[in-house]
Structure 1
Amino acid sequence: MTADTPLEREEVPFWFDPLCPWAWITSRWLREVEQVRPVRADWRIMSLAYLNLEQREGKGLSEDYRALMERAWGPVRVCAAAVEHAGPQVLGGLYTAIGLRLHNQRRRDDPAVLPEALADVGLSASLAAAAASTEFDQQIKRSHHEAFDEVGLDVGTPVLRIRGTALFGPVITPAPRGESAGRLWDGLALIAETDGFFELKRTRTRKASFE
């Protein structure tokens, strides 16, 4: 191998629900990591609605959060419809298009978000109708189980699989940039390779920042 030989990129499965602000921030960090380490994100969907309302049977949810979870089906169903229509390679761009509108632009209640995001990646706005359909729910659940059968039900999103180990997180705000993003990746890779590692956490004291 010469100095000019490109490094083989490590695939990193990343499970997200488009509605989650913390997963969104982590996804932007992973985009930064792609620029400074030989890493490539493999975007996959999970469902907070399925996790909280079905797998956890809605236990302990307030009425407001339960209503939010019911609405959470919409964006992830549209992602599943897009994958069915155009293949999994569409997910990265579609997630970015949805996330920018939901989180950075704070348009969570705007019905135009999903049709606009679909148009951004060259897909028909008609796929937004999938938000109200159960047609793709089994595909969502299959993808969801790929992560949560391994990582467990006491976590949420994001979930990454790093070198064969599924981990919840990192939960960060704001997203580190440049070499700072790379150093965080290096630390997580070491953790993932440590047999028997399960948990590292502290109480969040900041609101999500999308800057």
Structure 2
Amino acid sequence: MTITPETYDGPTEVDFHFDVMCPWAYQTSIWMRDVRDQLGLTVNWKFFSLEEVNLREGKKHPWERDWSYGWSMMRIGAILRRESMDLLDQWYAVSGEALHVDGNRPHNPDVARHLLEQIGADPGIVELSIDDQSTHDEIKAEHQRVIDSGGFGVPTLYFGDTAIFGPVLLDPPTGKAALRMWELVIGWLEFPHLYEIQHMPRDEKKIFDTFRPYLEARDWVSINRGKEVGFEPAAAD
């Protein structure tokens, strides 16, 4: 039986680690907001860097560059979060939609300024985030938290000290279906030695079609656990 807002007595707070660059985490964040709004949960948005975890030998760390893709978007988010978690929530929502739905480039400083204006924030935060070196420390600490837990990507959820990778999904459920998925996710907490469940095979065409805006807007190569990955579906025989 699916939980309801009236009967819910589960966790009331969750940390959600994300990187704006990640198309999977973006889909999960849509579902997470729906659950939050229905149940009155507290969602603490936290950072994780795909650029750093997938860093190739000989390349600079993202904090060694004046401007980097996901890292710089998170530096903007760190400044916003100092004012309120709600502002970071809005920044992730608007920058994620720009990249993963509209096929825009929020990692471009000019686009980032425009998006900040959309949420009623000062576009000068772009320059402020570049000048404020302490934003690096915030992102590093939250990234390292996931690494120390054995994590490697996002979305990663924390319930207290317990970390779960996922859920990884394409079609974010809403309404009752969103609550049903939340019920399944928190049910996983009852089984500390349940490490992985996957559907096989993956619907590669559906993944490609869903991620098309992101694929057209990205200015980077996608890396997963040290290997370059593509999303193009295999040709039919």
SS of structure 2 residue aligned to 1:175? coil
User: In 1, Cα distance between the equivalents of 2:173 and 2:118?
Assistant: 26
Is the CA contact 2:14–2:158 (under 8 Å) kept in the aligned structure 1?
Answer: yes
Q: Contact (CA 8 Å) 1:44, 1:91: kept in 2 or not? A: no
**2:78 is the alignment partner of 1:80:** yes
Shift in CA distance, 164/186, structure 1 to aligned 2, threshold 3 Å: farther
- Selected match of 2:193 from 191, 196, 207: 196
**Residue matched to 1:123:** 121
Residue 100 of structure 1 pairs with residue 128 of structure 2:
no
Alpha carbons of 1:73 and 1:189: their partners in 2 closer, same or farther (altered >3 Å)?
same
Find the partner of 1:15 among 14, 17, 20.
17
Q: CA deviation at 1:71?
A: 2.5
For structure 2, list consecutive stretches of 5 or more residues without a partner in the other structure.
Answer: 1-5, 60-67, 212-237
Superposed, which structure 2 residues align to 1:141-156 within 5 Å? 141-150=140-149, 152-153=150-151, 155-156=152-153
CA contact (8 A) 2:154 2:166 kept: yes
Take 1:112 and 1:82, find their aligned partners in 2: how far apart are those partners?
17
**Number of the residue aligned with 2:214:** none
- Which residue identity does 2:144 align to in structure 1? H
Contact 1:18–1:76 (Cα < 8 Å) also in 2: yes
Provide Cα deviations, 1:37-74, integer angstroms capped at 9, x if missing partner.
Answer: 35332211221122222xxxx26x9xxxxxxxx53322
Structure 1 position 26 matched with structure 2 position 23? no
Deviation at 1:14, TM superposition (A): 0.3
Tell me if structure 1 keeps the 8 A contact 2:113–2:123: yes
Whether the 8 Å contact between 2:31 and 2:173 is mirrored in structure 1 is yes
Q: Which amino acid aligns with 2:118?
A: D
Shift of residue 92 of structure 1?
Answer: 0.8
- Give the count of matched residue pairs: 193
The structure carrying a bigger helix percent of its residues is 1
Cα offset, 1:160, TM superposition: 0.6
In the alignment, which residue of structure 2 is the partner of 1:157?
A: 154
Distance in 2 (alpha carbons) for counterparts of 1:9 and 1:124: 35
In structure 2, what is the Cα distance between the partners aligned to 1:134 and 1:182?
39
Q: 2:51 matched to 1:41?
A: no
Which residue in 2 is equivalent to 1:182?
179
Instruction: Name the TM-score, length of structure 2 as normaliser.
Output: 0.70
Q: TM-score, normalised by structure 1?
A: 0.78
The answer to whether the 8 Å contact 1:26/1:170 transfers is: yes
Deviation track 1:58-98 (CA, whole Å, cap 9, x = no partner) reads 26x9xxxxxxxx533221121123234x2444211111121
Do 2:28 and 2:169's aligned partners in 1 also have CA atoms closer than 8 Å? yes
Alpha-carbon distance, 1:132 to partner: 5.2
Tell me what 2:65 maps to.
none
Q: Identity over the aligned pairs, expressed in percent?
A: 29
Shift of 1:115: 0.9
Question: Contact 1:77/1:130 (CA < 8 Å) preserved in 2?
Answer: no
Q: CA deviation at 1:29?
A: 0.5
| One-letter amino acid matched to 1:138 | D
Residue of structure 1 in register with 2:207 after alignment: 207
